[in-house]
Structure 1
Amino acid sequence: MSKKNKVEDNLIDIDIDIKDIDKEINDFYIDKEKIESIEVPSDLNILIKNAINNAEKDIKIEKSKRKFMYIAASLGIILSVGIYNPVLAHKLPPVKNFFQTINDTLQVDEIASFIGVDKYIPKAKLDENGSIKFEVVETTEYKVNKTDEDLNKELKISDKEKNEDIKEEDNVQVNNLYMPNSEYQSIQFIHEMANSIIKAIDDRKYGMVEITPESVDIAITSLGYIKDNGVKEYLNRQLLNWKKGDFDNAVEVHNYVWNILGGEVGKAIAIKHDEVNKIKSKYFK
């Protein structure tokens, strides 16, 4: 095979129309007048400086927005925590009173107790040294049942009250002081003491024992009848606060023993501060 034939065999058949090429050139062509009409700023520094200034303004505005959001969020958290735990501001009485007023007005403690939030979100309290401590509401699955002896004792107390001048308030039966002599009676005695200073969610409370230094001592002594050591230790800690005239735990104590007794009505949601103040002024000065 000759060289000529080899070249011809390797040629590629290219079919390009001249009109197509002209069209491509025309599309690519930039008119001279258009080029000359493009104006370049006489001072690029001013343009760049203005652009930078505008960018800085936008950044400052964005930072201000974020700062405002952080401040608003922080204030919201402070208010929420303070209203839920007014005692956190105990060193600033005006602030504490402010938070406590909102707490009382919105019934925060009542709502927290009703929906059970206080079992998971700690409440701040002051210990005997004036230090803040956080506690969640303790609960127990322990239950006590009423025996025939307990029932007979309740009937005797009821018969005795029928022949005496018994004070009644908010559907509460006021019981005379008695000495518990069983596990059930020990729990019930504490329950009736707590009834005297708490508000029930449905205003239904049955049985009341006045809280005095004597009744508190009786309650502490009767803890010996309780078989569960965890329950005994918890109630002992709480009643020692009562012995010192501190009744801030009244709702928790009431609902603790109320559960042990299998309570269905009369769950405590708040402390009756007027009653507590009367007891303090009379017995725990």
Structure 2
Amino acid sequence: MKKKGILIAALALLAVATLVIYQTRFSYSQPEEVLTQDEFIETFEETEALMEIDGLDRTGVNGNSLEEKILDIMHQMTHQKIVANQKWGAIPMTTRNIEQIESIVSSSKKIHSPQAKKQLIQIIAKWENGDFSEADEDHNYIWKLQNGTLGKARGLLSKEEELLFIEEWFIEGKAEEDN
């Protein structure tokens, strides 16, 4: 009987530990407040804080780019908005970048699947309307097209987290490149 009690206690402890690990590693509650596109524009675009790194011309992507390059650019654009354990690269979600990627995807003959192209255009249309409420799902759709294995999005950044991300990746990162 005593062994059964110890076994039950051990299983209960294991269940609690599993729940804690899941909640800290895989689960992420949606933030109460996110950075709106209007706030982003007022804070960064209208002040020209991102002027030097705005525009996809510097990435080399255009309407003749391979699907992999186009997906990589869109993937990196989502990093500003999402929570993930790993992120490689980031491109600001500026009005200009969104307009440019829309033009590139729309004119591309290199996107293999018509269904994928249609879905990418739908994602960009949401972004053009300032709707990033599904940016984590957008990220994971693109990530799956890229056969991603690490860095799956687990939710959206809060307003404060996104402002910190922008500061670290685009403002300070730009400053470090200039030195």
Q: State TM-score, norm by structure 2.
A: 0.53
Instruction: Verify: 1:178 aligned to 2:62, yes or no.
Output: no
1:243 maps to 128
Instruction: Verify: 1:269 aligned to 2:154, yes or no.
Output: yes
- The structure having more radius of gyration, on CA atoms, is 1
* Counterparts of 2:156 and 2:93, CA distance in 1: 14
Instruction: Verify: 1:260 aligned to 2:145, yes or no.
Output: yes
1:219 maps to 101
2:59 aligned counterpart, secondary structure: coil
1:196 maps to 80
Q: What's the % identity of the aligned pairs?
A: 27
Q: Which runs of 5+ in 1 are unaligned?
A: 1-106, 113-165, 167-174, 280-285
What is the identity, as a one-letter code, of the residue corresponding to 1:198?
A: I
* Counterparts of 1:227 and 1:205, CA distance in 2: 25
* Counterparts of 1:176 and 1:269, CA distance in 2: 30
What is the CA distance between 1:197 and its match in structure 2? 1.2
Are the structure 2 counterparts of residues 177 and 199 from structure 1 closer, same or farther at C-alpha, using a change threshold of 3 Å?
Answer: farther
Are the structure 2 counterparts of residues 244 and 176 from structure 1 closer, same or farther at C-alpha, using a change threshold of 3 Å?
Answer: same
Are the structure 2 counterparts of residues 176 and 205 from structure 1 closer, same or farther at C-alpha, using a change threshold of 3 Å?
Answer: farther
Alignment of structure 1 residues 134-173 onto 2, 5 Å: none
Query: 195, 205, 208: which is aligned to 2:87?
Result: 205
Q: State TM-score, norm by structure 1.
A: 0.34
* Counterparts of 2:157 and 2:104, CA distance in 1: 25
Greater relative contact order (Cα < 8 A, sep 6+): 2
Q: Which runs of 5+ in 2 are unaligned?
A: 1-22, 29-52, 167-179
CA RMSD of aligned residues (A): 3.0
What is the CA distance between 1:177 and its match in structure 2? 4.5
What is the CA distance between 1:235 and its match in structure 2? 1.1
1:199 aligned counterpart, secondary structure: strand
C-alpha distance after superposition, 1:92-113 (max 9, x if no partner): xxxxxxxxxxxxxxx7xx649x
Alignment of structure 1 residues 1-285 onto 2, 5 Å: 111=27, 177-180=58-61, 181-200=65-84, 203-223=85-105, 224=108, 225-274=110-159, 275=162
